[in-house]
Amino acid sequence: MNTFVSIDAVGTERLEIIRSADRLAAVEAQWMHLWHRTDGLIFQSHAWVSAWWSTVADRDQRALRIGLVWNGDRLVAVIPLAIGKRKGLRFLEWAASSYTDYGDILVAPECSLSALQDLWAQLCDAGGFDLAFLNRLLPDAAVRKIFAAGRASSGIRLRPNHREEVSYRVAGPWKSGAAWFEGQSKKTRQNYRRGIKALEETGKVKFRLLAPDEPLQPVLDRLSALKRRWLVQHSRESQLYEEGTPVLAALVDVLARAGVLRIFVLECDGVMVAVSINFIQHQVMMAFVTTFDPDFSRASPGIILIMDYIQWSIDHGLGMVDFLCGAEAFKNKFATQAVTLQSVLGTRTAQGTLASVADGIRQRIRHARQRKPAPSQDAA
């Protein structure tokens, strides 16, 4: 059941919590209008959340908790949340959290802070979860205003959590991609050229941007197959790349329909040896998924592709390349900036409180071990 609650903060504002797919579909037009009006990232769009909800494999283990603020018939805020289960605990978290690099809300300038705080209280009172965990918060995330220090707020109190992540970016005064390339170390430039030469031993090497009318499914099938090999090698799992699952195709379709999708490929004799699914927003090239064929690892085709699309981005007037969330070494290799993504956590049940306390104890023990000096050794 969807809940409407009238409030007195502005007089015409009212709150709603979306719990069903039907109601989610019904607010598409108003949500997308707010998304365009606030220039939100794709992760906060209705299309992104709907694509995730319609394809997520364990939907029976989840529940929508999407908060809305209406001013008359105009939607002025969205808090896109859902409940998921992990390790026996129920988490109130960002909708599509597994595929959302930057979590946030959408809020129009005319939406009152009191309405946002009252909506947060309504979401907390709705229950059904043990812990509230909002992660991957940029320094300027709009959601921070709800929980800012010194403001009176109802609902569960969210406190900074030790789980921080990093976003690496490439930005600078280069006038061309070639200028950026020449600014790299001699070793990096040599490795790039050696990699190209190694690939050319197999066949003609070509870097290109997929045309808008090219079929996407063969590229996605190739990328997913390569990702599955990498996951097996590193003993990891991801539903995004499981054979036969529609999640990746649905999310890429969202990017394509929004007109922001850019897929770069590196081909060797017509075979894709590296693929990167990117998108452009706010004059920034954002790298969503990148992978390469391990059979060609000697040539480092993934690094070659990254260097090629960085140069492409600079040549096309973009102000930054954003590798999104993740501290992988290949991202840090080229980064000129690093942004810390913070998280906040709050508890609702006794089980959630116990889990939070236990996690805090483990964190303190870990820090104590890291600070403990190594035992001294007497000279022989």
Specify whether the CB–CB gap between 99 and 41 falls below 8 A.
no
Residue 374 has pLDDT above 60, yes or no: no
Question: Strands, E, within 24-154: which ranges?
Answer: 63-71, 74-86, 89-94, 106-107, 131-137
Query: What is the Cα–Cα distance from 49 to 66, expressed in whole angstroms?
Result: 10
Q: Is the model's pTM score more than 0.85?
A: yes
**Domains annotated on the chain, with CATH:** 3-164+342-348 (3.40.630.30), 173-318 (3.40.630.30)
Query: Sign of the CA dihedral 277, 279, 285, 288?
Result: negative
Query: What is the Cα–Cα distance from 213 to 201, expressed in whole angstroms?
Result: 31
Give the tens place of pLDDT for each residue, 31-67: 999 999 999 999 999 999 999 999 998 898 999 999 9
259, two tokens: 């007109």
- pLDDT average, residue stretch 154-169: 91
Lookup result for tokens 């930054």:
320
Residue 150 has pLDDT above 70, yes or no: no
Q: What pLDDT does residue 340 have? A: 97
Q: Is 347 helix (H, G, I), strand (E, B) or coil?
A: strand
Give the tens place of pLDDT for each residue, 76-113: 999 999 999 998 999 999 999 999 999 999 999 999 99
Query: Please, what is the average pLDDT of the chain?
Result: 91
DSSP state of 217: H
- N- to C-terminal Cα separation, the chain: 76
Q: What pLDDT does residue 26 have? A: 98
